[in-house]
Amino acid sequence: MSILKRGLKGAPVKRLQEKLGITADGDFGPGTEQAVREFQDGNGLIVDGIAGPDTFSAMGLHELVLLRKGSRGNAVKRLQEALGIG
């Protein structure tokens, strides 16, 4: 999963909600967006209410991080370090 944002539904959204400690109904609505914004703000991330690779990594949701050619950010740095090429 590359990003989770308002309007999306499913198991990845439910997993995100569980990590945020909010009602996990699998529906990314305004409450989930606000919880993501608060998490991002409290963890020095860009505050946009959209959960992407940096937000997933900061939450320990590494299974939701999707990297591809051209990806940038902390998730890429962590992968490079783990591979010994950072």
Q: What is the predicted pLDDT for the residue at 1?
A: 53
pLDDT, tens digit only, all 86 positions of the chain: 579 999 999 999 999 999 999 999 999 999 999 999 999 999 999 999 999 989 998 998 877 776 677 878 777 787 677 778 86
Three-state DSSP class for residue 79: helix
Q: What is the predicted pLDDT for the residue at 71?
A: 77
What structural domains does the chain harbor?
11-83 (1.10.101.10)
Q: What is the predicted pLDDT for the residue at 5?
A: 97
- Whole-number Cα distances in Å, 45 to 29, 41, 51, 58: 20, 6, 10, 9
